[in-house]
């Protein structure tokens, strides 16, 4: 095993949430899909309130694919939130825990440079955790597809099974793109969390958050401006508006029968909304990367030269 592979493995051994958290939530979505499918069958047989067959036959293939994409996208967004929480807590803990339990002395007894070690932690946050989340998403999407597809088949329509692979591929492409742009865009935040983790003696979460508020408040008091707060807000929320363009064409599906009324505006393809050009050309991306490298570099320096044991 190469040094980097070993270091990345070690991170998943120590921080088991990296594997467990996305898997648990992916599993929950499958469970919900199974329960929903069972519920739908029950409704069919029981009072027949909503006619699944009629509903499906009111949609064409494109509408079915688009509505599947919307369902899968909501799963992707939810797993994305889980991923970000895992990344935040991982980064805050990764250089702090080894100092707290003094195992840093063991790690430092091995011939690996601090740059490589801190690099493995940044790589875990930037690549490994998003990759694990993407794989869990793919597995969850396939599971949901098989459950709902089978349900539709029982209702007499093979359209869901037919539309699924295309919808999964399209959502997966958009989801992968989404985690990549986030990983790049959030580099300054990740660098900041690494630095706090390498520096704070206790209460890492507090140290990660308070200075950001303090700088914002101080700037307002001293200069009366809100530049830092604006930059911070932009960093936290600005990535998707930048990396995706708003949908222009919508597919509208309406369904009225008996007591059931539904009207949905669907997007034909999520991957068509990706706008990598605008993202790559934005100064915010490159400026953020520079700040991220500086902050992560400071974390490497601290781990190398700090002497507190």
Partner 1 sequence: MTTLVRASNLSKRFGHVVALDGVDLEIPEGRIVGLIGPNGAGKTTALKALLGLTSFAGELEVMGLDPRRERHRIMQDVCFIADVAVLPRWLKVRQVLRVAEGLHPRFSPERAEKLLAASQVRLDSRVGQLSKGMVTQLHLALVMAIEAKLLVLDEPTIGLDILYRKDFYTTLLNDYFDEGRTILVTTHQVEEIEHILTDVLFINKGRIVLDESMEQIGERFAQVAVTPEQADAARDLNPLYEQDMFGRKIFLFQDRSPQQLSGLGETRVPGIADLFVAKMKGAAA
Residues at the contact surface with partner 1, assessed by CB under 8 A: 1-3, 5-7, 9-10, 13-14, 98, 101-113, 304-305, 307, 309
Distance CA 303, CA 301 (A): 6
Burial pattern 36-72, b for ≥16 Cβ within 10 A else e, equals ebeebeeebeeeeebbbeebbeebeeebbbbbbbbbb
| Residue 15 or 67 having the CB closest to partner 1 | 15
Q: How far is the CB of 306 from partner 1 (least distance, A)?
A: 9
Q: Can you read off the two tokens belonging to residue 46?
A: 């029981």
Spatial CB neighbours of 298, under 8 Å, sequence gap ≥ 6: 191, 195, 198
Q: How far is 151 from 148, CA to CA, in rounded Å?
A: 5
User: CA-CA-CA-CA torsion for 148, 153, 157, 163, nearest 10 degrees?
Assistant: 50
Of 105 and 215, CB closest to partner 1:
105
**Measured from the CB of residue 82, what is the shortest distance to partner 1 in angstroms?**
22
Asked whether the beta carbons of 47 and 39 are under 8 A apart, the reply is: no
Nearest-approach distance from CB 129 to partner 1, in angstroms: 18
Residue with smaller CB distance to partner 1, 46 or 111:
111
Q: Rank residues 98 and 170 by Cβ distance to partner 1 and give the closer one.
A: 98
CB of 165 to partner 1, least distance (A): 38
Distance linking the first and last C-alpha atoms of the chain:
30
Q: Which is nearer to partner 1, 21 or 66 (CB)?
A: 21
DSSP per residue over 30-58, as a string?
HHHHHHHHHHHHHHHHTT--S-HHHHHHT
CB of 102 to partner 1, least distance (A): 5
Q: Which two structure tokens, joined as six digits, stand for 21?
A: 């958290």
* Smallest separation (angstroms) from partner 1 to the CB of 295: 22
Closest distance to partner 1 from the beta carbon of 18 (Å): 13
Q: Which is nearer to partner 1, 109 or 248 (CB)?
A: 109
CA angle 176, 182, 185 (to 5 degrees): 140
- Which residue's CB is nearer to partner 1, number 12 or number 272? 12
């Amino acid at each position: 095993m190469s040094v980097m592979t070993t270091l990345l493995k070690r991170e998943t051994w120590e921080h088991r949430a990296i594997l467990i958290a996305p898997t648990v939530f992916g599993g929950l979505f499958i469970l919900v899909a199974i329960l929903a499918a069972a519920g739908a069958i029950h409704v069919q047989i029981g009072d027949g309130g909503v006619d699944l067959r009629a509903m499906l036959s009111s949609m064409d293939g494109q509408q079915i694919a688009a509505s599947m994409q919307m369902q899968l996208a909501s799963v992707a967004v939810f797993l994305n939130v889980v991923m970000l929480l895992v990344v935040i807590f991982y980064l805050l803990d990764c250089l702090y825990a080894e100092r707290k339990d003094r195992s840093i002395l063991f790690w430092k007894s091995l011939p690996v440079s601090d740059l490589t070690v801190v690099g493995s932690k940044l790589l875990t946050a930037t690549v490994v955790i998003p990759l694990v989340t993407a794989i869990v998403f793919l597995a969850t999407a396939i599971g949901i597809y098989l459950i709902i597809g089978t349900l539709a088949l029982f209702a007499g329509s093979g359209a869901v099974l037919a539309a699924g692979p295309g919808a999964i591929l399209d959502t997966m492409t958009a989801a992968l793109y989404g985690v990549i742009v986030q990983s790049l865009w959030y580099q300054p935040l990740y660098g900041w969390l690494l630095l706090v983790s390498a520096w704070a003696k206790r209460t890492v979460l507090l140290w990660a958050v308070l200075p950001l508020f303090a700088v914002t408040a101080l700037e307002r008091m001293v200069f009366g401006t809100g530049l830092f707060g604006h930059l911070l807000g932009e960093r936290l929320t600005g990535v998707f508006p930048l990396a995706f363009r708003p949908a222009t064409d919508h597919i509208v599906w309406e369904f009225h029968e008996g007591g059931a009324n539904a009207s949905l505006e669907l997007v034909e393809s999520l991957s068509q909304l990706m706008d990598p050009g605008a993202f790559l050309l934005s100064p915010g991306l490159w400026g953020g990367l520079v700040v991220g490298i500086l902050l992560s570099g400071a974390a490497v320096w601290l781990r190398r030269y700090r002497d507190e044991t």
